[in-house]
Amino acid sequence: MSNRCSDEGKIIYQLNEIFKQMSPKFERCTGISQSRLDLLHKLFEVDETSQSALQKEVNIDSAAVTRHLKQLEGKGMVARRKNPNDNRFTFVSLTEEGRERIVSYRLEKEQFITKVLKDFSEEEQTSLSNMLTRIQKNVKDIQY
């Protein structure tokens, strides 16, 4: 249950470090931030969604979603329009240009991922993934 202090925080520490080191490299390699690519990915699969549905999928604050989508709209990658049947909702979809550009993003991302998982066998990957899933569950179970 409890083990020696030197090791105790190490995994948490490593998780943070990996995140901090990986995020900026991801952005430089792919040319887009992970959050934005996530948004585009979801849109890629869905054709058109409400903003709130999108927000629930990517799991970032709706304020951030609004700002991202506005910028992506400014760059001509997504289109937004109000739901005519319910003006509270705004529908979001990829533009043609967005749809084209996301393909190259995906490519860059795949290359990035293979670099990150270099020398990991299939078994190791699934083993790692399973452990991460368990950690995720533990984190979720922490009340407060």
Q: Which residues contribute to the site for its own copies (CB under 8 A)? A: 1-3, 5, 7-12, 14-22, 25-26, 28-29, 34, 59-60, 109-110, 112-120, 122, 124-129, 131-136, 138-142, 144
From residue 22, alpha-carbon distances to 16, 61, 103, 109 in Å are: 10, 22, 21, 12
Decide whether 85 or 103 has the Cβ nearer to its own copies. 103
Binding of DNA by 66 (CB under 7 A)? yes
Decide whether 1 or 19 has the Cβ nearer to DNA. 19
Report in angstroms how near the CB of residue 130 gets to its own copies at its nearest: 10
Contact between 65 and 58 under an 8 Å Cβ cutoff? The reply is: yes
Q: Which stretch binds DNA (CB under 7 A): 3-11, 49-57, 117-125, 134-142?
A: 49-57
Report in angstroms how near the CB of residue 95 gets to its own copies at its nearest: 24
In DSSP notation, 102-139 reads: HHHHHHHHHHHHHHHTTT--HHHHHHHHHHHHHHHHHH
Contact between 78 and 97 under an 8 Å Cβ cutoff? The reply is: no
Alpha-carbon distance 111 to 134, whole Å? 27
The β-bridge partners of 37 are none
Which residues are at the interface with DNA (CB under 7 A)?
20, 24, 33-36, 50-52, 55, 59-64, 66-71, 80, 85-90
